[in-house]
């Protein structure tokens, strides 16, 4: 699929209309729900508004669980899963292909470490370049797992399931994927596992394990304690997954650059995921959050963005502690920073080099090709923003990375000439209907799909 973003003579605020936007279900919660649901002995029902909205990454987790013998059925309106319990997995007959999904690979390393069988994880070209060794080492040296990566420290990964022991584990970086992998392994450990991370990362695993009855405690200073009591089966579980706030961030970007107001309903508002909204507010954006409710320990509600009545008037203020909390929003924040007067500094963000692409380099390359002024540092970017900035036209190089593709499609909305993006279906990894929703925000005439 090739997409062309066409320039607008008038402000695209005039050409768009208000329409209900249905965001994709939160990808992070979705992966965890399937895995933790499988660990219960309950029937799990996940209502789905539109099956086409399911992030493609999630299918990697569905297929991985099915290959371990977990019954999962998909229909147009729901996913149903029969929890098999902690000891209910079968040895897979084939290697497990995690496709492009880092979350699947990392979480399954933790899940499979304590099984009574061996398994092998593989992935696509991009995932096969991403680091797996640091997690393997933590699980091996801390909990006594036996996990072997390729020589380069990547997939394929061979996991020889065995009995795990307790440990106190210090994560070298704040990473929700690593933390969640150790938590899942911790469920299988003979003794208590304590995990400490240098900074707070997203906490969906902890919240879900707690709400599903696992013996887990959050201690001071980002430490978590988990014991091997397993996941206490509840009765049947129905879990409505909130809309993905990280996907919403791109529509929010479109609303800001298009000076338009939008309302997003039923969107996930977990405090470890909404830091980017605070950062945008700090630069002058008016945001209102309402109708907040909590289900399964997760907050959700309505977010209103007043892009027509407010604008970004200062550089974005991003601290080191913010980085793990905005890890997936940095691409769109970097784009927005180009339109904020002044210098935005992103530092201590080296983790971005180990995402679906080297995001620091991919961001610098595309920002420059659009005419923005940026300096690439070893651990971040300095963006010299300007509120009169008008990007050039041209083409987007997304490096196979869904978030790089979406971030620069948003930048293209302000471009003087048309902008093209090939293989644009890469956005499906997290947001299959991105172009549909974006058209609703900015007007159909702006987005042309070839």
Least Å distance, CB 101 to ligand S3P, is 9
Residue 177 beta carbon to ligand S3P: minimum distance, rounded to whole angstroms: 3
| Rounded-to-integer distance, Cα 378 and Cα 373, Å | 17
Q: Which is nearer to ligand S3P, 171 or 415 (CB)?
A: 171
Structure tokens at 174: 């704040």
Tally Cβ neighbours within 10 Å of residue 73.
Answer: 10
Active-site residue identified among 244, 328, 401, 437: 328
Helix (H/G/I), strand (E/B), else coil: 319: coil
CB nearer ligand S3P, residue 149 or residue 177? 177
Radius of gyration for the alpha carbons in the chain, expressed in angstroms and rounded: 21
- State the virtual CA torsion across 239, 203, 435, 306 in degrees, nearest 10: 100
Residue among 315 and 331 whose Cβ is closer to ligand S3P: 331
Sign of CA dihedral 108, 110, 113, 114: negative
Residue 121 Cβ, how far from ligand S3P at the closest point, in Å? 16
Hey, which residues does 312 pair with through a beta bridge? none
CB contact at 8 A, 193 and 206: no
Distance from the Cα of residue 31 to its chain's centroid: 10
H/E element, 348: none
Report the alpha-carbon distance of residue 174 to residue 278 in Å, rounded: 20
Least distance CB 176 / ligand S3P (angstroms): 4
3 state DSSP class of 168: strand
Positions touching ligand S3P (CB under 6 A) are 28, 103, 175-178, 180, 201-202, 324, 327-328, 351
Task: List, as own/partner pairs, every contact residues 290-297 make where C-beta atoms lie below 8 angstroms and the sequence separation is at least 24, other chains included.
Answer: 291/265, 295/239, 295/240, 296/207, 296/208, 296/211, 296/239, 297/207, 297/208, 297/210, 297/211
Q: State the residue for tokens 């601290």.
A: 319
For ligand S3P, which is the closer residue by CB, 119 or 247? 247
Q: Name beta bridge partners: 384.
A: 343, 373
Indicate the pairing of strand 373-377 with strand 298-306. Answer: unpaired
Rounded to whole angstroms, the Cα distance separating 120 from 159 reads 6
CB of 311 to ligand S3P, least distance (A): 28
Q: Read off φ and ψ for residue 148, nearest 5 degrees.
A: -120, 130
Indicate the residue among 145 and 327 with the shorter CB distance to ligand S3P: 327
425 forms beta bridges with none
Is 328 marked active-site? yes
Nearest to 207 by CA among 197, 199, 217: 217
Nearer to ligand S3P, 8 or 180 (CB): 180
Residue 59 vs 389, nearer CB to ligand S3P: 59
For the bound state, the minimum distance from the C-beta of residue 446 to ligand S3P, rounded and expressed in Å, comes to 27
Peptide bond into 156 cis (omega under 30): yes
115 or 177, CB closer to ligand S3P?
177
Cβ of residue 191: shortest distance to ligand S3P, in angstroms? 25
For the CB of residue 277, give the shortest distance to ligand S3P in the complex, in Å.
Answer: 17
Looking at beta carbons only, is 5 or 187 nearer to ligand S3P?
Answer: 187
Work out how close the CB of 90 gets to ligand S3P at its nearest, in angstroms, rounded to a whole number.
25
DSSP, res 189 = B
Distance CA 306, CA 262 (A): 7
Residue 28 in 3-state DSSP?
helix
3-state secondary structure of 371: coil
Task: Enumerate the active-site residues.
Answer: 328
């Amino acid at each position: 699929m090739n997409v062309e973003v066409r320039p607008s003579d008038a402000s695209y605020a005039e050409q768009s209309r208000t329409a209900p936007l249905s965001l994709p279900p939160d990808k992070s919660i979705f992966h965890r729900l399937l895995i933790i649901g499988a660990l219960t002995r309950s029937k799990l029902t996940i209502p789905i508004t539109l099956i086409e909205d399911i992030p493609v990454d999630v299918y990697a987790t569905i297929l991985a669980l099915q290959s371990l013998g977990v019954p999962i059925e998909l229909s147009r309106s729901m996913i149903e899963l029969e929890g098999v319990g902690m000891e209910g997995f079968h040895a897979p007959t084939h290697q497990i292909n995690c496709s492009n999904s880092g979350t699947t690979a990392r979480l399954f390393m933790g899940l499979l470490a304590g099984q009574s069988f061996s398994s092998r994880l593989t992935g696509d070209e991009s995932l096969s370049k991403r680091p797996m060794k640091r997690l393997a080492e933590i699980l091996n040296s801390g909990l006594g797992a036996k996990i072997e990566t390729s020589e380069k420290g990547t997939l394929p990964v061979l996991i020889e399931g065995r009995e795990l022991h307790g440990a106190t584990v210090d994560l070298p970086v704040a990473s929700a994927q690593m933390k969640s992998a150790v938590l899942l392994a911790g469920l299988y450990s003979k003794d208590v596992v304590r995990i400490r991370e240098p900074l707070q990362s997203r906490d969906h695993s902890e919240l879900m394990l707690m709400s599903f009855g696992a013996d887990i405690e959050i201690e001071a200073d980002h430490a978590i304690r988990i014991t091997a009591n397993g996941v206490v089966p509840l009765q049947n579980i129905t879990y409505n997954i909130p809309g993905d706030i990280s996907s919403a961030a791109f529509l929010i970007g479109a609303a800001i650059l298009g000076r338009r107001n939008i309302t997003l309903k039923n969107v996930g508002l977990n405090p470890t995921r909404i830091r980017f909204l605070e950062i945008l507010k700090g630069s002058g954006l008016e945001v209102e959050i309402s109708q907040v409710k909590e289900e399964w320990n997760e907050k959700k509600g309505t977010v209103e963005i007043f892009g027509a009545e407010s604008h970004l008037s200062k550089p974005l203020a991003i601290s080191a502690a913010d980085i793990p909390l905005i890890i997936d929003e940095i691409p769109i924040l970097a784009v927005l920073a180009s339109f904020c007067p002044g210098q935005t500094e992103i530092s201590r963000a080296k983790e971005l080099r180990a995402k679906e692409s080297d995001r620091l380099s991919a961001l610098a390359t595309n920002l420059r090709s659009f005419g923005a002024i940026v300096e690439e540092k070893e651990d971040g970017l300095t963006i010299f923003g300007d509120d009169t900035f008008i990007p050039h036209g041209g083409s987007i190089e997304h490096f196979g990375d869904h978030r790089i593709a979406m971030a620069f499609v948003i930048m293209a909305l302000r471009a003087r000439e048309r902008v093209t993006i090939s293989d644009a279906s890469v956005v499906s990894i997290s947001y299959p209907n991105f172009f549909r929703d974006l058209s609703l925000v900015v007007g159909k005439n702006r987005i042309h799909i070839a």
